[in-house]
Amino acid sequence: MLGQNRNFRRLWGAQVVSELGDWFYTLAIYNLLLQLTGRAGSVALALVLQVLPQTLIGPATGVVNDRLRRKHVMIAADLGRMLIVLCMLFVRSRGTVWLVYPLLVAETLLAAFFEPARSSIIPNIVEREDVVVANTLSSATWSINLMVGATTGGVIAALLGRDAVFVLNAISFLASALLVLSMGFAEPHTEGAHPLDARDLVNFSPVAAGIRYVRSHARLRSTLFVKVDKLIIGPSWVLFTVTGQKESAVRWYGLGPQRGAFLGMSLLLGARGLGALLGPLLSAPWAGHWIPRLETAIFWGYLATAAGYGLLGTARYLWQACLFVLLAHFGSSIVWVFSTTLLQLRQKTGFAGACSPPTSGYPC
Amino acid sequence: MLTIAAGAYIAGRFVDWGFVARYVASAAGLLMLIPAIWWGLKVRGTS
C-alpha cells in the first residue's frame, strides 16, 4: 500500500516524522522541568496538563473535523505546534519555567485536533478493503515510533543538547505540514455540512449516553475497570524521569551529568516502548478473538506489570532496570490491547466511541 | 486519561516527599496485584 498509494504514503510519512519529533520533545520537556525545578511534581503537573485537556476538548475536535476540511485542520495544527515548540526555547531558567505549562496545554489541544483528522481521512484515501491494513499500519507505527523516538531522542539530546531536540521537533511538524499539503483527495463530508456552531463544540451528550450504557451493562463495567492498569502509565513518566536523573543516569567519558540523565531516561522509555510493542505482538496470535483466552492473558498481563515494577526497586544497574521495565510494559500492553478488544466484542457498535477511553499519545 | 493523570500526580507527590523513585515504582507494581487478583477471581467465577 505504501508503494502504490501516494496519498497514504505521505500521510504515513507525516505520522512518522511528527510522532518521532513528539517523543524527542516529551523527553526534553520532562528533563527540562526536573532540571529547573528539582521537583517530580512539576513533571507530574506537565503530564496532567498533557492528558486532561484532550478529554475535555473531545467533543469540539469531533465537530470541527466533521465540519471543516480535515486537510486544513491538520496543516493548521502542525504549523501551530511548530511555533509552540519553538517557544519552548525561551524557557531558560527557573523564572521562565512557568511558560512550559501554557505551551504544553496549547500543544496538546492542537494534537487533539490533528489525530482524529488523520485517522478520519484514511477511508478517504485508501480502498475500502485496505482500511483495516492502513489502520493496523498506523497503530504499529505508533509503537515503533515510541521505541525508536524515545531511544534516539536521548542519544540526540546527549550528543547535541536539549535545544537541538526542540528545533528538530519543530522541523518535524513543518515536514508533516508539507507532506499533508502535498496530498490530494476529496473530502465529501464538507459538502452540505452545517456551519460551525459554538453549542456543538461543548456537546457532551454522546459521552453521557455512553456512561448510561455502561452503567446498565455489568459485564462492560467490569471490563472497563480493567483499564485501571493505566494507573501505572502516569507514574512511569514521572519515575523514569527521576530515576534517569539519579540512579539510572548514564556515566560515560566526556558525557555531562545532564546529558547522561537524559540518556538514562530515554533508555528506560525505549525499553518501555519495546515491551509495549512485543506484548500484543507475541500474545495476540495465541489469544485471537477468543474471550476466555483474552481474559486469561489480561490476568497474566497484570502479573507481569506487577512483577516488572515490583522488581524495579531492586535494580542496581541500568540494564536490569530496562529489563524490568520491558517486562512490566510487555504485560501492561497486553492488558491494554486485550481489554480494548474485550470491550469491542461486548458492546454495541454505536457506543464504541463513547465507551472507549481516549488513548491519544499515552497507551502502554 | 483521568487515571493516567491521577497516577502521575500521586507518584510525583511521593517522590517530592522524599521517597526513592525506584521504591515508589515497586509500590505501584505491588498495587497492580489488587486488580490482578480481582480479575483472576472474576474470570474464575464466570468460567
Residue A361 gets which letter from DSSP? T
- State how far the Cα of A70 lies from the Cα of A93, in Å rounded to an integer: 38
pLDDT at residue number A219: 66
Closest by CA to B28, choosing from A242, A154, A296, is A242
Query: Do the Cβ atoms of A54 and B33 come within 8 Å?
Result: no
pLDDT at residue number A362: 41
pLDDT at residue number B17: 92
Residue A116 CA, distance from chain mean position = 13
Query: For B8, which of A44, A315, A358 is closest by C-beta distance?
Result: A44
pLDDT at residue number A344: 66
Contact residues, A window 36-65, toward B, CB-based 8 Å cutoff: 39-45, 47-48, 51-52, 54-55
**Torsion sign across C-alpha atoms A10, A16, A22, A28:** negative
pLDDT at residue number A225: 66
- Residues A115 and A176: beta-carbon distance below 8 Å: no
Query: For B29, which of A44, A228, A328 is closest by C-beta distance?
Result: A328
Number of domains in chain B: 1
CA distance B18 to chain A (A): 10
CA distance A171 to chain B (A): 29
Q: What global pTM score does this model have?
A: 0.78
B3 contact residues in A (CB cutoff 8 A): 227-228, 230-231, 233-234
Query: Do the Cβ atoms of A41 and B16 come within 8 Å?
Result: yes
Q: Up-side HSE of residue B22: CA atoms within 13 Å toward CB?
A: 20
pLDDT at residue number A231: 65
Query: Do the Cβ atoms of B12 and A308 come within 8 Å?
Result: no
Per-residue pLDDT tens digits for A48-99: 888 888 777 877 887 787 788 889 999 999 999 999 999 999 998 889 999 9
pLDDT at residue number A189: 74
- State how far the Cα of A185 lies from the Cα of A187, in Å rounded to an integer: 7
Delimit the domains of chain A by residue range.
1-192, 207-353
Residue A252 CA, distance from chain mean position = 31
- State how far the Cα of A174 lies from the Cα of A176, in Å rounded to an integer: 5
**pLDDT truncated to tens, each residue of chain A (364 aa)?**
777 889 999 999 998 988 888 888 888 888 889 889 988 889 889 988 888 887 778 778 877 877 888 899 999 999 999 999 999 999 988 899 999 999 999 998 998 888 888 888 888 888 877 777 777 777 778 778 888 887 888 788 778 888 888 999 899 999 999 999 999 888 877 777 677 676 666 666 766 776 777 777 766 666 666 666 666 677 888 888 888 777 777 777 777 777 788 788 888 888 888 898 888 888 888 887 788 888 899 999 999 999 999 999 888 888 999 999 999 999 988 888 888 777 767 654 444 444 444 443 443 3
* DSSP string covering A192-211: TPPPP-GGGGG--HHHHHHH
Query: Do the Cβ atoms of B21 and A292 come within 8 Å?
Result: no
> Which are the contacts of A264, defined by CB distance < 8 A and separation ≥ 6?
A154, A243, A244, A245, A248, A249, A250, A318
In the CATH scheme, what is the code of domain A1-192? 1.20.1250.20
Per-residue pLDDT tens digits for B29-38: 998 898 889 8
pLDDT at residue number A13: 92
Query: Do the Cβ atoms of A311 and B26 come within 8 Å?
Result: yes
The grid coordinates listed for A122 are: 484514511
Query: Do the Cβ atoms of A313 and B6 come within 8 Å?
Result: no
Query: Do the Cβ atoms of A231 and B33 come within 8 Å?
Result: no
**What is the domain extent for residue B26?**
2-46
CA distance A175 to chain B (A): 29
CA distance B44 to chain A (A): 9
A309 contact residues in B (CB cutoff 8 A): 25-26, 28-30, 32
